[in-house]
Structures are given as C-alpha cells and as structure tokens.
Amino acid sequence: MLKTKLQEICVTQTEYLKKADNGVLRTALESVPKLKNHAFVISGVRRCGKSTLLRQVIKKLNVPFFYLNFDDLRLLEFSVSDYAVLDEIIKESKTKLLFFDEIQTAANWELYIRQKLDQNFRVVLTGSNASLLSRELGTKLTGRHIVKELFPFSYAEYLRFAKRKKGYKSFEKYVQTGGFPEYLKLKNSEVLTQLQKDILYRDIAVRYNVSDERSLQNLYVFLASNAASLISPSKLKHIAGVKSHTTILEYFSYFENSYLLSLVPRFAWSQKAQSLAPKKVYFTDIGFIRTAGFSFSTNKGHILENFVFNELRRIYGSFDDKQIYYYSEETCECDFVVNPLFAPKCIQVCCELNAENTDRELKGLLSAMDFFQINEGIILTENSYDLFVQEDKRIEIMPAWDYFT
C-alpha cells in the first residue's frame, strides 16, 4: 500500500473521530487502567459503542495520539508488509499513544502490537470477536494486556442517555428498546435487524466459511424466540436443518464469539456433568430478541430474566472466565448462581410473586442456598418489594431495576 494512501486514510479517520459526538459517558471509562507496558483491549459486539469509548478515553488522557480503524473498505488490501509503512506514519506523528479500532481484521496484528509495546508505545485496541482476541492475546501478549468487555447501554447508562429517572416506567421503556446507542437515537428497528444480518454474514458466515447460511439463520431465529430457555444441541438439528449436533455446537461458538448471545451452563462440580447438561441462552441485548425472535415467545418473564443476566454479565462475567451459572436439582431450579467458588450469590427472577408461583420460586432459591451453604438470597421482580424469612434464611424481594442502579 502506498504511504500517501494510508496517510490519507489515517487523517480522514482521525478528523471524523475528533468531530464525532462523545456521547453518554460509559461506566467502563471508570475502569480504564493507566497505560504503561500493557495493551488495553476493549472487546464487544459491533455498534455497542467501542469507538465512542475510545473517544472518551482520548479525551480523558488529553495527549497527542495516533488512530487507525482497520474496519475500513479502503484497508481491505492491507497486508503484513504494510506494517512498515504504518511505522513510518506513526513515527512522523511523534506520539507514543496508539489507538487501533477493530484490530482483529488485520493480519498478524498481535505480533505488531507486541512490537509496539516493546518499543514503549501505549496501545488501546478494540475488537468484535471474543475468541480471536482471547486466543491471540493469550499466545502473543501473555501478561501484556488488560481486557474490558463492552456491551450496549446498561439500564443506568440508558437513564443518562434518555435523561430519565430510575423507576418502573423508565425500566419498561428500556426493556422495550434495549441499549444499542444508534437504535435509541434513530428509533428504527431496521438498525438492529441489519446489524444482526451483518454479524451473521460478515463475522460468522464469511469468517468461518459457513456455506449453509440458511441453517445458521434458522438456528439464530429459534434461539432468539426462546431466550432465557433451556436448550440442548442434539434437539436442535432438525430446527437448523443440519445433520450433526457438532455443527450446532460450532454455530453456538460462532454466536458467542461474535457477542450475539451467551450460553449459561448448569452448575456442577464435575466439568463433564456441566458440559452434558442443557444450557440457558441469553442475548447480548433485548433489542436482538424483539427484532429477531417471534413475539409470541418473548414473554415478560424471559425478557426480565435476560435483562438480569446482562446486568450480571457486566459485573461478574467474561468470555474466558465465566462466573454465572444456573442451578437445577430434580424438581427445582434457581435462575442464577454467581461467583459460586468464592462468594456464592443465588438469584431468582420472576415478574411477580403470586399464589401460583411463590412456593416454586422459593423452593428453587432455598434449594440453591442450601447447596451453597449461604443464608441470604434475592428474588428480582418487575416492580415489587417484600421480605421472606425462614429460620436462618433471609430472602429479599425487590425490583430488578432498583437492584442494579
């Protein structure tokens, strides 16, 4: 690639970056580390606000910087030999602070980043593929990187964006829209529909050479229609239209790698027992469920449960170190067990407690509390407060929107 061409791309991208709106301050900005000899990696689903967070980091640091977004059609021909050209341009910029957007699209990027760290550059990266970033960072940047996962707006961030107060009315609105910034600005569901199409095609079908796109889409739509439900790969072959449950497992990994959804395992001390048990599926954003799934299956209870998972994922979870499980034993179930090995917390979710479900919800939660030997649990609801005490067990009942804000 010609130096003048790459220079022009860098200049136009940087000018656009500086002019763009810095948006609502993201909570993740509070955890940006001091950059010395480590790369700071922001990973997350497309269009969740990674570039906006980069701008906020740039403003916070307030020093000269170099920026390049590799997710640019003009950089399709970028190759390993072009890193030497890039080095020349960076040298001329006379800065030691580098920002690279969607770095995973560049060949051998991890070796290049390691080189820049060795040259005492400070580096901030973003990427949209959890598996690729994790694998390459682990092998080439061991001990030299800090990863922060970014998601669409949380409920608290939505409140700042919409300039609303926390409460049931604003929560109702949030679970209707989800948290993708662009969708919240434009109020056009086609934004989310097209985003999912792009991820399924560009980030999955093309990257993983999936020739049967229809089976991929069929499975995705089915999962979106059954969010917060138990699923088993062997029972999904006919729905997706594939012959092997191994293919279903591959599709699951593609969906997770691209941050479309997460699969939550049943807690068990045995790794084998965990892998054989059905998993629960949750989507990265409620907007995905409402635009990809069939509306008759997206009931309020499943939406509330998916909301709770997303909030817990921000606190406890990561792609490499899952700390969120569900608990199931014979005839009872607890929706979430977080951090089970060190400080277990058991959480049940239901829209409201009534004569028909109270015994069932309490039984599942109390069973999990007994299993993990803890005395306090919580039931998260849509909009009700209460307290249940049984012997030495104490269960607080409160709205999910209040619990996470």
Yes or no: say if 266 and 328 are a contact pair by the CB < 8 Å rule: yes
Distance CA(308)–CA(306), nearest Å, equals 5
Helices (H), 39-180: 50-61, 82-93, 109-118, 130-140, 155-162, 168-177
pLDDT, tens digit (0-9, with 9 covering 90-100), for 297-328:
458 999 999 999 999 999 987 655 679 999 99
Backbone angles phi, psi at 232, to 5 degrees: -135, 125
Q: Using the predicted structure, report yes or no on whether residue 362 has a pLDDT greater than 70.
A: yes
pTM over 0.85: yes
pLDDT, tens digit (0-9, with 9 covering 90-100), for 188-236:
999 999 999 999 999 999 999 999 999 999 999 999 999 999 999 989 9
| CATH 3.40.50.300 intervals, the chain | 3-150
Whole-number average pLDDT of the chain: 93
What CATH topology corresponds to 3-150? Rossmann fold (3.40.50)
Backbone angles phi, psi at 96, to 5 degrees: -110, 15
Distance CA(386)–CA(115), nearest Å, equals 57
pLDDT (0 to 100) of residue 148 = 87
Yes or no: say if 265 and 322 are a contact pair by the CB < 8 Å rule: yes
pLDDT, tens digit (0-9, with 9 covering 90-100), for 380-391:
999 999 999 999
Distance CA(217)–CA(202), nearest Å, equals 13
Residue type, 56: Q
pLDDT (0 to 100) of residue 338 = 96
Q: Which is more confident, 80 or 130? A: 80
Looking at the chain, how many residues does it have?
405
* CA neighbours closer than 13 Å in the CB half-sphere of residue 131: 15
Distance CA(163)–CA(59), nearest Å, equals 22
Burial 277-288 (b: 16+ CB within 10 A, else e): bbbbbbbbbbbb
Q: Output the six-digit token pair for 129.
A: 């593929």
Indicate the pLDDT class of residue 293, thresholds 50, 70 and 90.
confident
Indicate the pLDDT class of residue 392, thresholds 50, 70 and 90.
very high
Indicate the pLDDT class of residue 132, thresholds 50, 70 and 90.
low
pLDDT (0 to 100) of residue 147 = 85
Backbone angles phi, psi at 91, to 5 degrees: -60, -40
Yes or no: say if 404 and 385 are a contact pair by the CB < 8 Å rule: no
Q: Using the predicted structure, report yes or no on whether residue 242 has a pLDDT greater than 70.
A: yes
pLDDT (0 to 100) of residue 158 = 98
